Amino acid sequence: MKSFQARSKRPPALPALPSATEELAFSEVLEIIQDARRRALAAVNTALIDLYWRVGESISRRIGTDGWGKGTVAALAAYIQERHPGARGFSPQNLWRMRQFFDAYHDQPELSTLLRGLPWSSNLQILAKSRRPEEREFYLRMAAQQGWSVRELARQIDSALFERVVLHPPQVSTALRELHPGAEAVFRDAYLVEFLDLPDGHEEADLHKSLLVNLRQFLAELGRDFCFVGSEVLLQVGGKDFALDLLFFHRGLNCLVAVELKIGEFQPEHLGKLEFYLEALDRDVRKLHERPSIGVLLCASKDNEVVEYALSRSLSPALIAEYQTRMPDKKLLQAKLHEFYALTAPEIE
């Protein structure tokens, strides 16, 4: 019996937990590995986009000099497959897209870094769904700045973000412009929250709860630099308790962002409550190195003239925005944008 016990294998001992010093050192090594992987993937993507650019340039040149058409490009795809059976991504359709890719951007060298920083699938989304050069540039810069996935990029294009930004810039107070120059580029006039799947008769509590449940998607809609701080944040003033709906921090603006929710149409008195919360935040919550807090009143609808009147005398950095529970009519917005460009285009004498 003793002999059997001596021969039996003991389970391997678990490795000892690292000390605090070791944990710091180990995390540094792990970060080195992860950083190298990120740079390697970025280098591979840059080389791939550069390859597609050069192929597209060659095809575009041959179309101009030798009269190549889609039939010749299809023959080229077959030739590549025959000579390099393992080569992927060189179908006739993709080769034609490479040519379109080059033709779309060859006269915009300032976009070169952006193009090579995005995956091919993201470039294709922008190329296929954007009509104007300025629209393509807008989505290139936004995708790079916000780190959008291909899926999120497609969602933003389908929601006509470019048209909405051009046609409906955010309505902000003068104090916001003065205290936070450039903040208008951070915020929007309307935020699309179709992912909440809210019914028509929803209550404010339903909106609040759904935003928390879908916080990751809501943060993506707000923007990359927004960080969630808390919900129903307690503010104590004069012995009374007040609850702020949502509190965020914006890394780029270096300030707290208070969000108050309203399920109805904007009313001027709503702004007074938001300004009260901003005063409480700046006096009791804001840290010394942070800039003045910004307030966002997120409502179901608003009359732009009423908003303009309400904000004109406001001394607080605030803005009024809508939340939209359904995707907008992109064709209608595109038609309005066409009219806008026609009206603002300089007259040719």
Q: Flag whether 22 is in a domain.
A: no
Q: Are residues 293 and 264 both part of a single domain? A: yes
Q: Print pLDDT tens along the chain (349 aa).
A: 555 555 556 767 667 777 778 788 888 888 889 889 888 988 999 999 999 999 999 999 999 999 999 999 999 999 999 998 877 889 999 999 999 999 999 999 999 999 999 999 999 999 999 989 999 999 999 999 999 999 999 999 999 999 999 999 999 999 999 999 989 999 999 999 999 989 888 999 999 999 999 999 999 999 999 999 999 999 999 999 999 999 999 999 999 999 999 999 999 999 999 999 999 999 999 999 999 999 999 999 999 999 999 999 999 999 999 999 999 999 999 999 988 888 876 654 4
Task: Specify whether the CB–CB gap between 187 and 172 falls below 8 A.
Answer: yes
Tell me the pTM.
0.84
C-alpha of 277 from chain center = 27
Q: Are residues 160 and 77 both part of a single domain? A: no
Query: To the nearest 10°, the Cα dihedral for 209, 212, 213, 218?
Result: 120
CA angle in degrees (0–180, nearest 5) for 55-58-61? 150
DSSP symbols for 182-196 = TGGGT--SEEE-GGG
Q: Flag whether 345 is in a domain.
A: no
Q: Are residues 152 and 199 both part of a single domain? A: no
Question: Which residues span the domain enclosing 125?
Answer: 113-167
E strands along 98-167, which residues?
none
Q: Flag whether 282 is in a domain.
A: yes
Angle at which helix 304-312 crosses helix 268-284, to 10 degrees, equals 40
pLDDT of residue 338: 87
Q: Flag whether 31 is in a domain.
A: no
Identify the CA nearest to 318 among candidates 300, 297, 347: 297
Q: Flag whether 343 is in a domain.
A: no
Q: Are residues 124 and 85 both part of a single domain? A: no
The pair of structure tokens assigned to 236 is: 């104590």
Number of domains present in the structure of the chain:
3
What is the 8-class DSSP label of residue 295?
E
Q: Are residues 206 and 269 both part of a single domain? A: yes
Nearest-angstrom CA–CA distance, 332 and 225: 31
Q: What's the number of CA atoms in the CB half-sphere (13 Å) around residue 87?
A: 16
pLDDT of residue 11: 67
AA letter at 91: S
| Tally of residues, the chain | 349
Q: Are residues 244 and 129 both part of a single domain? A: no
Query: Rounded to whole angstroms, what are the CA distances from 151 to 126, 154, 155, 158?
Result: 12, 5, 6, 11
Task: Specify whether the CB–CB gap between 31 and 23 falls below 8 A.
Answer: no
Q: Are residues 187 and 218 both part of a single domain? A: yes
Q: Are residues 60 and 93 both part of a single domain? A: yes
pLDDT of residue 38: 84
* Burial call 15-34: b when 16+ CB within 10 Å, e when fewer: eeeeeeeeeeeeeeeeeeee
Q: Flag whether 159 is in a domain.
A: yes
Name 309's Cβ contacts closer than 8 Å, sequence gap at least 6. 268
Query: Rounded to whole angstroms, what are the CA distances from 75 to 47, 211, 278, 288?
Result: 25, 52, 66, 67
Q: Flag whether 206 is in a domain.
A: yes
Q: Are residues 208 and 88 both part of a single domain? A: no
pLDDT of residue 348: 43
Under DSSP, is residue 264 helix (H, G, I), strand (E, B) or coil? strand
